[in-house]
Amino acid sequence: MVQASVHTAVRELMSEVGRDALTVPLVAQRAGVTPSTIYRRWGDLQKLLSDVAVERLRPDTAPRDHGGLRADLTAWAGQFLDEMASRAAGRGESAPAVETVMDRVVAPLMYRILFRPAGLDTAYTRQLVAGLLDTTPEAATDAGPGGSETSGR
């Protein structure tokens, strides 16, 4: 209950005030807990932000055991890539290997989420995707049929 309310407060405040204005007392006030509750559970703001970032990556159900960490991580990433690759195939496109996507898009994004959140924006994401797909950043913009570009952090 506490974790859910604190995580929700972090996500809401990140979109409202941004990372630079985010403080433990501000999160605590929004979540309806004391700052000491947050410090006791997470230690500091950076650890809380890391926990929120990691929580977003957790699947709804426990992933299958594939016999090793490398196989487990590859399968986890593959679940997401499989869905995207299936859609791409339906459009006549091809998709890169899971490990390539992890190395060139997911890992740099996770690094920025955890350690340099101010450096994470839509332009950076487009740059990574463009580098992966060997296109220009404009071509990597996600504005499919009837859709619009997703922006923000």
Among 89, 85, 87, 13, CA closest to 45 = 13
pLDDT digits (tens, 9 = 90+) for 78-101: 677 767 777 777 788 877 776 788
pTM: 0.47
Number of helices (H), then strands (E), belonging to the chain: the values are 8, 0
For the chain, give every domain's residue range. 2-57, 69-133
Among 22, 70, 12, 59, CA closest to 44 = 22
What is the C-alpha separation between 125 and 152, in angstroms, rounded?
Answer: 10
CATH architecture of 2-57: Orthogonal Bundle (1.10)
Instruction: Say if residues 51 and 34 touch (Cβ distance below 8 Å).
Output: no
Band of pLDDT at residue 35, cut at 50, 70 and 90: very high
- Alpha-helical (H) ranges within 33-105 are 35-42, 45-57, 69-90, 98-101
Instruction: Say if residues 123 and 151 touch (Cβ distance below 8 Å).
Output: no
